[in-house]
Chain A
Amino acid sequence: NAGVTQTPKFQVLKTGQSMTLQCAQDMNHEYMSWYRQDPGMGLRLIHYSVGAGITDQGEVPNGYNVSRSTTEDFPLRLLSAAPSQTSVYFCASSDGWGNTEAFFGQGTRLTVV
């Protein structure tokens, strides 16, 4: 098992550009989430999904879109990148109704200039 795989690892965007951060898991987990982490801060929840076709907003959803067409993949789209979106993005997955651990990817470091 590869676990949770995020691509790319690093990305530089210009203000106004769009892009998609990829997240894939091979553990057949129902739950997937996206977080962002700013310097010196904890992770903040952007969007999450409790199964294919179901997504919902987290704490900081503005400027981001998600979709969940398959169990394995949960891409995060930046519609029009802004410098405030410079951050490290983490994807996570888990298989339970709580009472279970979440697995995190290694992160995508995004810089918007």
Chain B
Amino acid sequence: DAKTTQPTSMDCAEGRAANLPCNHSTISGNEYVYWYRQIHSQGPQYIIHGLKNNETNEMASLIITEDRKSSTLILPHATLRDTAVYYCIVSITNTGNQFYFGTGTSLTVIP
């Protein structure tokens, strides 16, 4: 699986959009981009995933560049409960969810 690069930490003001970048320059054509988050050492929680097109759900938006070498997770209106470690993962489509986690981005939402 391709490796990802994320900033170690970020801050965001409550109510503002949080934009979390991820580089995955070696991504293959059959690899999806997944985002998970982990709050207080709980089990990781799925946020969103995509292949080529931008995606949006009730939690977040995922913007993938045209060359697919990078992506951005957008939390449109960050709340204190969004404080967590966010993991960007790329994974082969046909082998189940064998994820290779990095150290993620620690997002702190500031009141």
Contacts and interface: CB of A to CB of B under 8 A. Distances in A.
Contacts, number: 75
Interface residues of A, number: 32
A58 to B, nearest CB: 7
Pick the most buried of B34, B92, B97: most chain A CB atoms within 10 A of its CB.
B97
Contacts of A105: 43
A73 interface: no
Nearest to B97: A102
Interface string A81-106: 00000001010101011111111111
Given A33-B96, A90-B44, A104-B44, A99 B101 contact: no
B6 to A, nearest CB: 10
A98 B101 contact: no
A50 interface: yes
B101 A43 contact: yes
Nearest to B102: A42
B93 interface: yes
A40 B43 CA distance: 15
Contacts of A104: 43-45
Contacts of A35: 99, 101
10 contacts: A30-B96, A33-B99, A43-B101, A48-B96, A97-B93, A99-B49, A106-B42, A107-B41, A107-B42, A107-B43
Interface of B: 32, 34, 41-46, 49, 51, 87, 91-104
Interface of A: 4, 30-31, 33, 35, 37, 40-45, 48, 50, 58-59, 88, 90, 92, 94, 96-107
